[in-house]
Chains A and B, each alone.
Chain A
Amino acid sequence: MFEISPLEIEALGLSLRVAVWSVVTSLPVGLFVAWLLARRDFVGKSALNGIVHLPLVLPPVVVGYLLLVLLGREGPLGRILLQTFGVSLPFTWEGAALAAAVMAFPLMVRAMRLSLEAVDRRLEAAARTLGAGPARVFLTVTLPLMAPGILVGAVLAFARALGEFGATITFAANIPGETRTLPLALFSLIQTPGGEAMALRLAGLSVLLSLAALAASEIIARRLRARIDG
């Protein structure tokens, strides 16, 4: 009864892979955007802010569809990707990771931006007077001080990516072993007569996974905060 079936392992492994990749690849981009929004003034800042937050308010299906339009074989970006790198994202697990990353992006940027805004700029000025250039100051002062915020952003994005459904199914479809992550597998099971027991198990698995992620982040965040300030 408590044995994990191959189907579950497949969905679980795929979900983890998609979520981890979506977070890891979007982390530097998220950091850069958070920095732009928190520290820079430029034309189109509010437009950027709006675009970043769009996935939060748009129906996920719309995001998935827009990705398809943009990155499909005939899409303006998709064609370039295909012709120059031979890469096609729709209907692949990488595409699922991209869809998850886009959906999770606003949460990640928001957490990072808040933590960056909380960094005491006077400490950065002090580091400058000690001989550190802007890049070094960012790496040795700013980044360590915003580490808890980065972690929170990453965990939120990870949890969001694990649960991503609408954009994924629209952009990457529901292909077993390729893009059928936990929520998609659950969805398929509910649609299958007699799949209720299995669906329940998958739901339980999702809960466990999310709880584990939250607990891990809590422990790391506590350690980071203890290091920074008691």
Chain B
Amino acid sequence: MLEVAAQKRLGSFEVDANFTCETSGVIALFGRSGAGKTMLVNMMAGLLKPDRGRISVNGNLLFDSSRRLDVPPERRRLGYVFQEGRLFPHLSVRGNLVYGYKLVPPAERHIQFDQIVALLGLEALLSRHPRDLSGGEKQRIALGRALLANPRLLLMDEPLAGLDQPRKEEILPFIERLRDELGIPIIYVSHSMPEIVRLADTMVLISKGRVEAVGPVDELTSRLDLRPLTGRYEAGAVITARVERQDEAFALTELSFAGGTLLVPRLELPVGTELRLRIRARDVSLARHRPEGLSILNAVPCVVRDIGIEEGPQVDLQLDANGAALWARITRRSLVALNIERGAQVYALIKAVAVDRYSLGRSGAAGRFLSEED
């Protein structure tokens, strides 16, 4: 359990964050630049002292202003991967990696040197020098260095923000592997929704120094009231589905989820596999009646839960497909023409879904959108 209640004023900006969540999997701290995410993480790490508050991780009290308790960072056992890597320039890659490892008593070294070198593919880099490394390599080493200190929780402050897209693609699989293989809870700070959807289970939404919401990623991304914070870009829902059947004749795979079945281009997965799907709002259209004579295969009956208030030509609707949240993006004109109101019965026409391959615990290409036109 992670319990944070921290207040800190720096100049005119104030962080007043209050949240509690389970320490398992990846917890994303999401918010715009300048929302106070880094300040919050620094307070957890002990690098920034809150004016007031209380921070505890799995029952270990790290900070409590009422008891004048402030555990120094070196005794908090929280790993920290910084945005800029912060490798020690006077040490080799190996020297960087073992810096924290050497300080862990041998009996407490649950994470071993060779294990991390193999997991992060660092063998060839060990005798190199930080100055000779690419940005992606530096971040991998920063990650390994933090892990080798055997932390009970790993803090990652926008570890990919300084990297270009190919470098991000190079690092992401490693983060997924350590999430899946090491079982260390990770606090992942990011302002990138695609990264969070791909990595995180839980999301802490931060805005202007305050925690706006805490909950499962798919739940928060499908809440219309949080839309100003989660952003319009790539807005969509994350649903859990299961492989039901393989349609050999048409090279399709049938998936089932709470709202019904979905046909997607063939997935090479055994029947019964659970997976996460991401359905973007812009890939979902609406019909008032069960459509006929339509090429789109997936039509899911839904109830309109909520309608976003927007000024632009388009509007986002939140749908309830028998308990599973979906989003649709239609024009405001259609909204009026079809007379869609809250509570209306509609059919969601789903043109494409993305499979979150990492929900399958395997590495490979990132969630590609599978559309029927493929």
State in angstroms the CA–CA spacing of A141 and B145 once bound together. Answer: 15
The answer, yes or no, to whether A133 is at the interface (CB within 8 Å) is: yes
Q: Contact size class for B?
A: 20 to 34
- Chain A residues whose C-beta falls within 8 Å of the C-beta of B103 in the assembled complex: 130-132, 136
Query: Does the CB pair B90–A227 fall under 8 Å?
Result: yes
Query: Does the CB pair B79–A129 fall under 8 Å?
Result: yes
Query: Does the CB pair B72–A129 fall under 8 Å?
Result: no
Minimum C-beta distance from A73 to chain B (A): 48
The answer, yes or no, to whether A122 is at the interface (CB within 8 Å) is: yes
Which parts of A118-133 form the interface with B (CB within 8 Å)?
Answer: 120, 122-123, 125-133
Query: Does the CB pair A128–B72 fall under 8 Å?
Result: yes
- Contact flag A126-B80 (CB < 8 Å), given A131-B149, A229-B131, A230-B129: yes
The answer, yes or no, to whether B164 is at the interface (CB within 8 Å) is: no
State in angstroms the CA–CA spacing of A155 and B77 once bound together. Answer: 41
The answer, yes or no, to whether B82 is at the interface (CB within 8 Å) is: yes
Minimum C-beta distance from B187 to chain A (A): 13
State in angstroms the CA–CA spacing of A228 and B84 once bound together. Answer: 17
Q: Contact size class for A?
A: 20 to 34
State in angstroms the CA–CA spacing of A123 and B96 once bound together. Answer: 11
Query: Does the CB pair A129–B89 fall under 8 Å?
Result: no
1/0 contact string of B324-361 vs chain A (CB within 8 Å)? 00000000000000000000000000000000000000
A227 closest partner in B (C-beta): B90
Query: Does the CB pair B131–A128 fall under 8 Å?
Result: no
B102 closest partner in A (C-beta): A131
The answer, yes or no, to whether A19 is at the interface (CB within 8 Å) is: no
Which parts of A143-190 form the interface with B (CB within 8 Å)?
Answer: 144-145
A141 closest partner in B (C-beta): B88
Query: Does the CB pair A131–B82 fall under 8 Å?
Result: no
Residue among A130, A133, A145, A228 making CB contact with B149, cutoff 8 Å: A130
A130 closest partner in B (C-beta): B100
Query: Does the CB pair B47–A129 fall under 8 Å?
Result: yes
Which parts of A184-230 form the interface with B (CB within 8 Å)?
Answer: 227-230
Query: Does the CB pair A122–B86 fall under 8 Å?
Result: yes
- Contact flag A122-B90 (CB < 8 Å), given A130-B103, A130-B146, A131-B77: no
State in angstroms the CA–CA spacing of A164 and B277 once bound together. Answer: 78
The answer, yes or no, to whether B209 is at the interface (CB within 8 Å) is: no
The answer, yes or no, to whether B204 is at the interface (CB within 8 Å) is: no
Query: Does the CB pair B47–A125 fall under 8 Å?
Result: yes
State in angstroms the CA–CA spacing of A127 and B75 once bound together. Answer: 12
State in angstroms the CA–CA spacing of A122 and B131 once bound together. Answer: 17
Most B CB within 10 A of own CB, among A123, A131, A132, A136: A131
Query: Does the CB pair B84–A122 fall under 8 Å?
Result: yes
State in angstroms the CA–CA spacing of A141 and B131 once bound together. Answer: 16
State in angstroms the CA–CA spacing of A136 and B75 once bound together. Answer: 13
Sample 20 A-B pairs with CB under 8 A, ordered by A number: A122-B82, A123-B86, A123-B89, A125-B86, A126-B80, A126-B82, A126-B86, A127-B99, A128-B72, A128-B74, A129-B45, A129-B46, A129-B74, A129-B79, A129-B80, A129-B146, A130-B100, A130-B103, A131-B74, A141-B90
